[in-house]
Amino acid sequence: MLVNRNGKLRKAWLIKGEVEEVFYEDTPDPESFTFYRIELYGDLDVRFSEKVIYGMRMAMTNPLYVNY
């Protein structure tokens, strides 16, 4: 699982087994615009052609905007 801030990797976790919650805390600069995006990677149960297109990405959030 990855957290991106303003398009750059900010934090990554390697998660194995069942995990219900992951916490992340950050204090963005109050004078600037900031956006976050979360990406979840894993082994997808899809056809080979879809794995070539999507890779290992299982999910991605819409941008979460702060200070806009």
User: What is the per-residue pLDDT across 24-49, written as a single tens digit (0 to 9) for each?
Assistant: 999 988 889 999 999 988 887 888 88
State the DSSP H helix or E strand holding residue 52, giving kind and residue range, or none if neither.
helix 48-54
The pLDDT score that the predictor gives to residue 7 is 93
Domain ranges within the chain, ordered by starting residue: 1-13+34-68
Query: pTM for this structure?
Result: 0.75
Q: Measure Cα distances from 52 to 2, 49, 57, 68 in Å.
A: 20, 5, 11, 36
